[in-house]
Amino acid sequence: MTSKMKAELFCLHCNKDTPHEVNYAGNTLKSIKCLNCGNEIEIRRDKLLENYAADFIDRILTKPYRMTQELEQDLTGFILSLPIRIITKPYRIAKEIGDIIKDEQDN
């Protein structure tokens, strides 16, 4: 899953705080672009995929703990949501990976 957010950051080219667009691939930083001067810093593809893979493995390894926390907090909601989550999870993962691959091919 790719996402974008706006942030006020210091731009080395403008030499002041300016609005920036920050792009993520999953939970991994992909690029930062100054909306004032257009200067953009991108993360190399190999590093992006390496960081994304590490984040993905971490998410897999922590899933049992996160599900246990969810179960303890709201048993009924957890049980009711589980069937649809089991069905949709493979699609969501495939879409997330597809978005990252597509973004990389576009660049």
Name the token pair of 82. 């589980």
Q: Considering its fold, how many domains does the chain have in total?
A: 1
C-alpha distance from residue 92 to each of 1, 4, 33, 53, 56 (Å): 9, 18, 27, 16, 13
Please give the residue range of the domain that contains residue 13.
2-106
Average pLDDT over residues 47-74: 89
Overall pTM > 0.75: no
Instruction: Give the CA dihedral 40, 46, 47, 52, nearest 10 degrees.
Output: 110
How far is Cα 55 from Cα 69, in angstroms, rounded to an integer? Answer: 20
pLDDT over 70 percentage in the chain = 94
